[in-house]
Structure 1
Amino acid sequence: MAGPLEGLRVLDFTTLLPGPCATMMLADMGADVLRVEAPDRMDLTRVMPPHDRGESTAHAWLNRGKQSLALDLKDPDSVALVKSLVADYDIVIEQFRPGVMGRLGLDYDTLAAINPSLIYCSVTGYGQTGPYRDRAGHDINYLSLAGVSSHCGRKGEGPPPLGIQVADVAGGSHHAVMGILAAVVHRQRTGDGQFVDVSMTDAAFSLNGMAGAACLAGGQEPGPESSLLSGGSFYDYYQTADDRWLSVGSLEPQFMQRLCEALGLSELKSLGLSQRPEHQQQLSEAIAEAIRQQPLSVWQERFGELDACVEPVLTLSEAARHPQINARHMVIDVDRGDGTQQRQLGHPIKFGRTPCESRHTGRPLGADNEAIKARYES
């Protein structure tokens, strides 16, 4: 069964993580994605370790379901080919710094003159406007400038370097997909394409959520361990006897009471109902001491059937084996193109009528050059 985006055609000029992750999601949902890459400046994800059968696992995942066209965009013949392609494609997504596509003759205005219904999305660190538009950056920089890092971590320890790329993926990738699909809906109503400007810093700033609302409208500057959800309450991680960790999110009274009973701390239930910092600290210390007495396996068994918002901190391998993750088909086998399969992260959105499909792992550089050029240069 075809995916929900069957029929949409995407020209992908992105590299590394944010843009390729966005177009991978579009490809999983049925879009026809053609990735355009420089033949002499290899995307680092193609060689990034670790490797599986000689292929980067990052590249195999990020570029699954896409075709690959290797083009030197400084070559006039390559630019002419792209302009021929644009006439047949719905979406262009690029990740160069502002102005680069213009210097190549492939900016929005130029391509929209060829195809007025074209949706053109630019994903950058800081957006197309503002004093930082031309500045280099990475995920850690965007989170820092957006204020996110300032209220994460522990007092006196500084913000933690995260194991996932929040600004790149939750910011750049997901917001690009949302922006593109919103523009598709607008085009269905009006016939008009448009330019979509996605800044990873803008997106990271919006992720401040409730802390941002409290700061901007209420004047409350967030910091580490300053709020209910940032370590300022018993909502936290706790170390077990075997140096594993347990997450406790038992904020609501009914969950907090079950937590205290399971830990033998029934006499401290009233502290959980208090918003006073000293009471929250007292309860947190008691919870930490109780959890420290037993290994993770004991707590998993005790809280396994107890609805108290308490869960183990799993390793990624353990998470991949978890029955909930498997029931949701979040670990899938993807065809390598040679009859074998590679295990990958599944698509997180489930459709009742048009399920997603991960058709194949990332293709070799320029694997589809011959077929594409034969179609458009004849």
Structure 2
Amino acid sequence: MSGPLASLKVLDFSTLLPGPFASLMLADMGAEVLRIESPTRMDLLRVLPPHDQGTSASHAYLNRNKRSLALDLKQAEALEIVRELVKDYDVVLEQFRPGVMERLGLGYEALKAINPRLIYVSITGYGQTGPYKDRAGHDINYLALAGVASYTGRRDSGPLPLGVQLADVGGGSLHAVVGLLAAVIARQHSGVGQYLDVSMTDCSFSLNAMAGAGYLACGAEPGWENHVLNGGSFYDYYRSRDGRWMSVGSLEPAFMQQLCAALGRPELAAQGLSPKPEQQHALKLALQVEFEKRSFEELCALFAGVDACVEPVLSLSEAVEHPQLKARELVCQVPRGDGSAQAQIACPLKFSAGLPEPRHIGAAVGAHTDDVLAELGIEAQRIAELRRARVVG
């Protein structure tokens, strides 16, 4: 199986999480992804713990199925190599601050002149325009400025630092993949590529799908624990007697009735249907009491056969063993290159024609330099000269 994106060739200049997650998705779907890495300035993801046999587990996952070409972009000969590669590639993905690629002579206009079909994707924190375009930031900052953190948290403790990087992945990575694939489809009709400016803050702002829509249309400002889905109703997490947690999402009447019946409190169901905050608060207190009467194991057994939108909060070690995730084959074994394999999160997309098997974990810096340069027609002697001059690594 070659995958639905087998015809797509991607030059990936990105590091850390947003760009690499995007190109991971493309590589998993069969695209040929070539990472352009500095031989002297290491991608910090490579040293992020924990490590498996000396390799960062995060790097090994996020960069699987990709080749690595080490180039010193401060040297003219390295830039010439990029320009040669661009002639045969469909997509350039980069994550530098605005203006960096232009200063290197590798901006969209320069590369479009070489390959008019090129689709050029820039992922940044704040976008290519606006007063914040050159400002540094991280996931937590983008969610803060986009308004997401203003109603994701608790009244008594404030915003929650999320365990997953919502702005980086949900904002930057996923939107970049959607946008570049849309540009690929447009190119099939027009014959020309285009430039895509992806701001993680912009995309995070768009994730305010329900609360944001309510505010813009009706002026309803969301706040912590003041609407149905953010802790302002019984829709929440409940602690068990032994300190574990259960999630309760029994919003519809039928689910609410089953929830209350399972807990032996069928009379509480009427409160769940009330929009009044005081009724919701009273219901939440009653549910807290009922959940804290039982151990986590008892609650799991109680709701295992009840279709009430109640599920346990699982650790990662428990999640990977859950029968639903196992049935969906969400863990795969990826070759390390030495005959062994590393367990990784599998591509979650299920195509009827299937996807190619994972080929290898994230490669060492410059692991494919010689192969890539040879494919450009550069002879071994010249490659050795470029290596001695530290143009390549």
TM range (shorter): over 0.9
TM-superposed deviation, 1:374: 1.9
Aligned length: 378
Letter in 2 for 1:238: Y
Aligned to 1:2: 2
> Residues 28 and 359 of structure 1 are in contact (CA less than 8 Å); yes or no, is this contact kept in structure 2?
no
* 8 Å CA contact 1:3, 1:357 repeated in 2: no
User: Offset of 1:355 from its aligned partner?
Assistant: 2.1
Identical aligned residues as a percent: 60
Report the residue type matching 2:66 in the other structure.
K
Q: Which residue of 2 aligns with 1:45?
A: 45
Contact 1:225 1:232 in 2 (8 A): yes
**1:96 maps to 2:86:** no
1:270-309 Cα shifts (integer Å, max 9, x gaps): 1111100000011110000000011111111110011000
* Superposition misfits of 4+ residues, deviation over 3 angstroms: none
Query: Counterpart of 2:179 in 1: which secondary structure?
Result: helix
Q: Report what 1:113 is aligned to.
A: 113
Give the corresponding residue for 1:256.
256
Residue type matched to 2:340 in 1? T
**1:125-181: CA deviation from partner (whole Å, max 9, x where unpaired):** 000111100000000000000000000111021101111100000111101100110
| Corresponding residue for residue 59 of structure 2 | 59
Q: Tell me by how many angstroms 1:226 deviates.
A: 0.7
Q: Deviations over 1:37-74 (max 9, x none)?
A: 01110001111110001110011001000000000101
In structure 1, the residue matched to 2:81 is 81
In 2, the alpha carbon distance for the partners of 1:190 and 1:358 equals 33
The one-character-per-residue Cα deviations of 1:96-151 (angstroms, maximum 9, x if unpaired) are 00000000000000000000000000000000111100000000000000000000
User: Quick check: 326-335 or 246-255, which moved more?
Assistant: 326-335
Give the letter aligned to residue 283 of structure 1. L
Contact 1:116 1:192 in 2 (8 A): yes
How big is each residue's C-alpha offset from its partner over 1:15-45, in whole Å with a ceiling of 9 and x where there is no partner?
A: 0000001001100000000000011100011
The answer to whether structure 1 residue 312 and structure 2 residue 315 are counterparts is no
- Please name the residue that 1:151 is paired with: 151
Q: Residue 388 of structure 2 aligns with which residue?
A: none
| CA distance in structure 2 between the aligned counterparts of 1:269 and 1:139, rounded to whole angstroms | 39
Separation of aligned partners in 2, 1:308 and 1:121: 43
The equivalent of 2:184 in structure 1 is: 184
Q: How many angstroms does 1:356 deviate by?
A: 4.8
Amino acid at match of 1:229: L
Report if the CA contact (8 A) 1:27-1:358 is conserved: no
Distance 1:140 1:356, change over 3 A: farther
Distance 1:192 1:363 in 2: 32
Cα distance in 2, alignment partners of residues 269 and 342 from structure 1: 48
Pairwise CA distance, 1:366 = 0.3
Deviation at 1:359, TM superposition (A): 1.6
For residues 337 and 29 of structure 2, the distance between their equivalents in structure 1, rounded to whole angstroms, comes to 19
What do you get for the CA RMSD once the two structures are aligned? 0.8
Whether 1:342 and 2:345 are equivalent positions in the alignment is no
- The runs of 5 or more residues in structure 2 that have no matched partner are 380-393
Report the TM-score, using the length of structure 1 for normalisation: 0.99
> Mapping of 1:218-237 within 5 angstroms?
218-237=218-237
Deviation at 1:372, TM superposition (A): 1.2
Q: Separation in 1 of the partners of 2:60 and 2:308?
A: 39
